[in-house]
Amino acid sequence: MRIRIANHSGFCFGVKRAIKIAQEIRKERKGKVLTLGDLIHNKRVIEELRKEGIDSVDDISKINEGTVIIRSHGVSPSVIDQLKKKQIEIIDATCPFVKRIQRLAKKIVDSGYELIIAGDPNHPEIRALIGYTNGEGVIINSLQEIKNLKKKSRRAIIAQSTQDINFFKEIVSRLIDITNELRVLNTICDSTRIRQKSTSKLASEVDVMFIVGDKKSSNTNKLFKIAKEIQPKTYFIENADDIKPEMINSYEEIGISAGASTPQDLIDEVINKIKGIKTNKCYGERESTWMN
């Protein structure tokens, strides 16, 4: 049996950075340190942060003191204004790639283009982003929604940083038919692109595939969709307990990929669980490195 791990599985640059910032601020500040919404979409990590003294608060009205960490998804300018009015210290851990998307969105709308955002309206990154467009950005989350768009002379399209590249390409090809001048800005971050590409490749080479991550994680859901289309025997698992012997017993090549908010220890537990189920000798692969 061989266990193969997709390149760039687990924490991305933006997630690592946000966690590091939060932990450093926790050490430096005496008062409350809070995150506005969960810092990342992973229950285990959020619980560990809570134990370290970094609590997650969803509702801004409940924050009256201390320091607030802005998570990697960012927040809209109105949220920053509300926190400033309350004289709350703000530490901005928005991923620099997300910041760039926010700046681009503002610039595009200010230049008079209709802005199409390929993203999930309920995802915090998109809820924040729409605030940089004065509410004028048009969010497209399904191909069906494109049918509601009218012909336009000038449009621009950007993507949620974790968007599925195939979905983005499909929207672009359909917008061409109804737009005279279309500006395409591929804002899917490199980490997401590489992860999706290596997950697709691995899914095409293995007998069974596991995507590890929290069900609430948007980028993990997209990885699952991408892998499932290529390898129908793909399972979305939150932890090692979700793996049952019948999922792997008859297979030799087992692939693993994980979302940007999945910690390495969770991936290691999954590898160990598979090794435990399989009685024969096994080894794993990450890029060209072999593991015992």
| Cβ distance to ligand SF4 smaller for residue 9 or 192 | 192
179 vs 257 by CB, closer to ligand SF4: 257
Among 10, 14, 37, 137, binds ligand SF4 (CB under 6 A): 14
CB neighbour list of residue 129: distance below 8 Å, 6 or more residues apart: 74, 76, 101, 102, 105, 117, 119, 137, 160
Give the residue at shortest CB distance from ligand SF4.
14
Stretch that binds ligand SF4, among 46-54, 91-99, 223-231, 284-292 (CB under 6 A): 91-99
Q: Does 227 bind ligand SF4 (CB under 6 A)?
A: no
Q: 97 is written with which tokens?
A: 């790639």
Q: According to the binding rule CB under 6 A, does residue 68 interact with ligand SF4?
A: no
Window contacting ligand SF4 (CB under 6 A); options: 11-19, 78-86, 225-233, 277-285: 11-19
Cβ(152)–Cβ(162) below 8 Å: no
The answer to whether 40 contacts ligand SF4 (rule: CB under 6 A) is no
**Residue 72 near ligand SF4 by CB under 6 A:** yes
Residues 6+ apart with CB under 8 A from 122: none
15 binds ligand SF4 (CB under 6 A): yes
Q: With left for phi above 0 and alpha for psi between -120 and 50, is residue 138 left, alpha or beta? A: beta
**Marked catalytic residue, from 24, 52, 65, 125:** 125
Cα 230 to its chain centre, rounded Å, is 21
Q: Tell me which stretch binds ligand SF4 (CB under 6 A): 25-33, 90-98, 130-138, 282-290.
A: 90-98
Instruction: Round to whole Å and give the CA distance between 186 and 148.
Output: 23
Strand 67-70 with 89-92, pairing? parallel
Q: Which of residues 140-199 bind ligand SF4 (CB under 6 A)?
A: 161-162, 189, 191-192
125 is catalytic: yes
> Using CB under 6 A, which of 97, 113, 167, 168 touches ligand SF4?
97
Q: Which backbone phi and psi does 9 adopt, to 5 degrees?
A: -80, 145
Contacts of 203 (CB under 8 A, 6+ apart): 209, 226, 227, 230, 231, 234, 255, 257
Sites of contact with ligand SF4 (CB under 6 A): 12-15, 72, 95, 97-98, 161-162, 189, 191-192, 260
Which amino acids are annotated catalytic? Answer: 125
